[in-house]
Amino acid sequence: MAAEREGGAGVWLPPRSPSGLVLQTVEMHTGGEPLRIVPRLEVAEAAAERGLSLLSLRREVAATQDHVRRALVHEPRGHAGMYAAVVVRGGAAAAGAHLAALFLHGAGYSAMCGHAVLALGRFALDYGLVAAPVSPETAVRLRCPCGTVTAFVPWDGSRSGNPVRFHSVPAFAAATDLAIDVPGHGKVVVDIGYGGTFYAFLNAEQLGLDVCSSKTRDLVNAASAVTEAVKKQFKLHHPESEDLAFLYGTILTDGKDAFSEEPTTNICVFADEQYHKGLIQLNQTRTFRSSTTGSLFTGKAVQATKFGDYNAVVVEVSGEAFYTGTATFTVEEEDPLKLGFFFK
């Protein structure tokens, strides 16, 4: 097929515009976790302008625009670990915030994503979504389906920097020391924590695994088994919306002492249940290392609060987010795999 070259930077364009859907994205990662940002999706913005809340907008997009999610995060444009965020500006969905975001992944739509918030904080400044950023740090209000979070982003007067930190919605322990029967593993004891989404937490040793040395596939399979077991054996409740009362996943830890100054290694990063148990104090910083990339995040409880009937804390999470590029994706109508396929 003939192609035309644009400029001298090795950029090649197709000879004609493709038919079907065209999606432009900004590509980022936070500690190795990818984020595919859709700066504008006209259907989502039009729905937001009708006065829909962000949770209602999420339901409508899932019902009518799910082909966008599948095209972006599934193969061949994405992969099993791909994550995406649709930016929404204006309307009730982003009321009181600089921007709102819908979070997309291979299986559906999440209510909160910490690594996405860190990346979106930088994106908001660099792409002009905050009218007057200030040095040395600018507060970015981001409306997530779980509520509004605030990111604090370094700003040198011309571009954003690292590390980025954010304050979560109220985080609480929904259950501690909960006995769960996991097929293939027997009884294990988990904690269930909420910080925008619900996660089950347990030491990987309970499953006969080690987060540093066990095979990633074994860790993922075991964590998935725990997630499914918890879903069947424990009913979650959210103080504000039952739309948010679902278990997002399981976090396997290395069981390191809470007072250790050494980084704790997790298969997934997020922890707030230790404060509830009295194992850490307000403003005591913990460092978390990704078991796959070695990237470091920090977290600490910065404020005690109430969330419904729960004693809760506001958690501050800090990490580094980086740009990896921009992309224009096409979805040709005649492509039999136009909406992608899911390959684990």
Segment among 69-78, 158-167, 253-262 with least mean pLDDT:
253-262
CATH topology of domain 172-318: Diaminopimelate Epimerase; Chain A, domain 1 (3.10.310)
DSSP assignment, residue 74?
A: S
- CATH superfamily for 19-163+322-331 is Diaminopimelate Epimerase; Chain A, domain 1 (3.10.310.10)
Q: CA-CA distances (angstroms) from residue 144 to 93, 94, 98?
A: 9, 9, 11
Total-model pTM: 0.86
Q: Let me know if the fold of 19-163+322-331 is the same as that of 172-318.
A: yes
Q: In this predicted model, what pLDDT tens digit does every residue of 302-313 receive, in sequence order?
A: 999 999 999 999
pLDDT band for position 216 (cuts 50, 70, 90): confident
Q: Residue 273 has what pLDDT?
A: 40
| Residue 271 near residue 286 (C-beta atoms within 8 A) | yes
Residue 249 to residue 194: CA distance in whole angstroms? 11
So what's the pLDDT on residue 272?
35
SS3 248: strand
Residues catalogued as catalytic: 113
pLDDT band at 233; cut points 50, 70, 90: very high
Lowest mean pLDDT among 26-35, 158-167, 296-305: 296-305
Per-residue model confidence (pLDDT) at position 4: 44
pLDDT band at 49 (very low <50, low <70, confident <90, very high): confident
Give pLDDT, residue 285: 85
**In which band, very low, low, confident or very high, does the pLDDT at 271 lie, cut at 50, 70 and 90?**
very low
Task: Find all residues with CB under 8 Å of 281, minimum gap 6, and list them.
Answer: 275, 301
Bridge partners (DSSP) of residue 155 are 160
Q: 90: which residues sit within 8 A by CB, 6+ positions away? A: 45, 48, 49
pLDDT at 274 over 60: no
167 pLDDT higher than 50: yes
What is the percent of the chain with per-residue pLDDT over 70, rounded to a whole number?
A: 86
pLDDT band at 2 (very low <50, low <70, confident <90, very high): very low
Domain spans in the chain, listed from the N-terminal domain onward: 19-163+322-331, 172-318
- pLDDT the model gives residue 268: 53
- Residue 10: band (very low, low, confident or very high) from pLDDT cuts 50, 70, 90: low
pLDDT, tens only, 82-128:
999 999 998 888 989 999 999 999 989 999 999 999 999 999 999 99
Asked whether the CA dihedral 239, 242, 243, 245 is positive or negative, the reply is positive
Token digits of residue 153 = 């982003």
In the predicted structure, residue 201 carries a pLDDT above the cut 50: yes
Please check the confidence at residue 283 and state whether its pLDDT lies above 50. Answer: yes
Band (45; pLDDT cuts 50, 70, 90): confident
For residue 46, what pLDDT band results from cuts at 50, 70 and 90?
confident
What integer best gives the mean pLDDT of the chain?
Answer: 87
